[in-house]
Amino acid sequence: MISADAAPGLPRRAGIGLKPQHYADILRAGPQGLSVGWFEAHPENYMGAGGPPHRWLTAIREHWPLSLHAVGLSLGSAEGVDPAHLTRLKALVDRYQPQMVSDHLAWSQVDGLYLNDLLPVPLTATARDVFADNIDRVQAALKRRILIENPSVYLRWTGAEMTETDLLADLVRRTGCGLLLDVNNVAVSCGNLGADPVAYLRDFPMQAVEEIHLAGHAVRVVEGQMIRLDDHGSPVSPDVWDLFALTLRWMRDRGLPPPPTLIEWDTDVPSLSRWQEEAVQANHLLSSVWQQEGTDDR
Amino acid sequence: MTDNTVAGLAALQQRFARWALGQTEEVDFVGLIEGPGLWVHRNTVRLTLGDALGDLFPVTRQVVGDDFFLRAAKDFLRQEPPRAATLLHWGGGYPAFLEQYAPAADLPYLPDLARLEWRRHLALHGPEATPLTAADLAALPPEQADDVTLCLHPTAHLLVSDWPVLDLWQAHQTENGLDRLTFARGRQEILIVRPHAMVELYALPAGGSGFLAALDQGLAAAIAAAMVEHPTFDAGALLGLALSQGWFRSPVPETGAE
């Protein structure tokens, strides 16, 4: 299947996050020396006028496809997207021509305050309309589609009028955006809300999935309750690998191509070679599932 | 009870933000299922922003220690939360905050140390510009050379402190650096600049900061500015160093420009 986009998308294999401590190692290894097909960076870290971050990203972009994964658009903000932030993001998109741009089903900014966290929004028609308007505005400004990621959730607001998966499906229909399925977030959110991750995945609008995220999470006890923390500070956990494999089989069975898959790691960041091992494992699943076409039972 | 309008959502987000930043202790969220999740978000907001501030002011953090630093960071966050969704622009008010911060009153050099770190950060992420060289100047026709305005590189920042904060900063860059640190030197004039990939820090001779700051009014005015308080100031020596280290930006001539 060929992507509907005129511009070629991300390679349909594993990529990893781009971290400053790896810049030099990455360029030393070169595309032939790494089992990593692409890199993902947070644009908010590259919003200075100049300096080393731009110098490195420019050099790396010459050799690898790039995804810009935003954390600051605050698409769930009732007051709308911060125009100054959108202008900064557009400048980066124009400069680096990334293969993919994405952000989250969350909010982080209100009243001129920025909270540096991805906060949940009530699952209401009002919130959906806010998201849709904000996504329309971003896509119009960037002149391209973006992907929306399912967030890691620690609480629910009362008065839900729809499920998160229905809300995401609505956004795809109304804005034409694609989805970024974070399988680790599915495990984290369902664990925290007492929901079934397999049922969540069954309801997820797979046809719209154009990228997958995998990461590790921590399990802690907070105020007497066990809670899964989305800290991206460890290898991908076995249950997340299982959910990933299940997702891939379902995508394959619906005639979808292998999705570009990112291994995230944001705290206790390992060596480049350790990180690559996770990418190799993801690549192995991506190729083996599509080789076993139709031989699995569901 | 829940207000399901856009205005209601905006009001909910405003209340949540003030609570997460610690500006209010009142948990007043109609329509919220309470649980540890609420506290996870408050912790994430405060811890990640405290860490981000620590990354901006690593030596300040070392000087006061982690506990003190993170406590002060919470107070700073309450007063001056980030205003943009990139943390590269947040923290400029922290040195002034330290000046007013009673628990830090017995460390009078701390605000200037933080100023040095903030200006380093600004230089690191400042605009790129090709530095002016002595060869560029020599290549100018003589009639232009007389009218040259020397402009500091756009990443250049000056700092004058009553304390040797550059020495203090440098002492924290090596393992046993603090053993040799002395406050006897007193006042320090400092230039922070990034002509190429790396930020460079220079202790200027007395009068040097006034000279560099006044250069955009012309060389004669700059020399006069430096010599008011420092009659032995050697402009030639400092200009030579400046040109060899890339403290000015190219292109040179802005003759005739208003």
ipTM of the complex, rounded to two decimals = 0.91
Average pLDDT over residues A91-114: 97
Q: How far is CA A251 from the centre of its chain?
A: 17
Q: For position A2, what pLDDT does the model report? A: 31
What band does A157 get if pLDDT is binned at 50, 70 and 90?
A: confident
Mean residue pLDDT across chain B: 90
Q: Looking at this protein, which amino acid is placed at residue A35?
A: S
**B 199-258 residues with CB below 8 A of A?**
none
Is residue B252 helix, strand or coil?
A: coil
Closest C-alpha to A202, from A162, A170, A247, A233: A247
Average pLDDT over residues B79-96: 96
H helices present in chain A, as ranges:
23-29, 52-61, 83-96, 125-142, 164-175, 183-193, 197-203, 238-253, 272-291
H or E segment and range at residue B167? helix B165-171
Q: For position B28, what pLDDT does the model report? A: 73
Contact B85 A85 (CB under 8 A): yes
**Chain B residue with minimal CA distance to A116?**
B45
Q: For position B31, what pLDDT does the model report? A: 64
Contact B125 A53 (CB under 8 A): yes
As a whole number of angstroms, the distance between CA A44 and CA A64 comes to: 20
Contact B83 A113 (CB under 8 A): yes
CB nearest B194 (choices: A51, A109, A127): A51
Kindly list the residues from chain B whose CB atom is less than 8 angstroms away from the CB atom of residue A112: 83
Distance from CA of A238 to the nearest CA of B (A): 24
How crowded is residue B144: how many other Cβ atoms within 10 Å of its Cβ? 14
Phi-psi region of A201 (alpha: psi -120 to 50; beta: other; left: phi over 0): alpha
Q: Which residues contact B65 (CB under 8 A, 6 or more apart)?
A: none
Domain extent listing, chain B: 1-107, 128-258
Kindly list the residues from chain A whose CB atom is less than 8 angstroms away from the CB atom of residue B45: 115-117
- Token couple for B36: 């540890």
What value, to the nearest 5°, has the Cα angle with vertex B25 and ends B20 and B29? 70
**B 114-133 residues with CB below 8 A of A?**
124-128
Kindly list the residues from chain B whose CB atom is less than 8 angstroms away from the CB atom of residue A47: 86, 88-89
Closest C-alpha to A254, from A282, A211, A290, A213: A290
Q: For position A156, what pLDDT does the model report? A: 86
What band does B34 get if pLDDT is binned at 50, 70 and 90?
A: low
Kindly list the residues from chain A whose CB atom is less than 8 angstroms away from the CB atom of residue B49: 116
The CATH fold of domain A14-291: TIM Barrel (3.20.20)
Q: Residue B29: is its pLDDT beyond 90?
A: no
Average pLDDT over residues B18-22: 90
Kindly list the residues from chain B whose CB atom is less than 8 angstroms away from the CB atom of residue A116: 44-45, 48-49, 52, 82, 87
What band does A101 get if pLDDT is binned at 50, 70 and 90?
A: very high
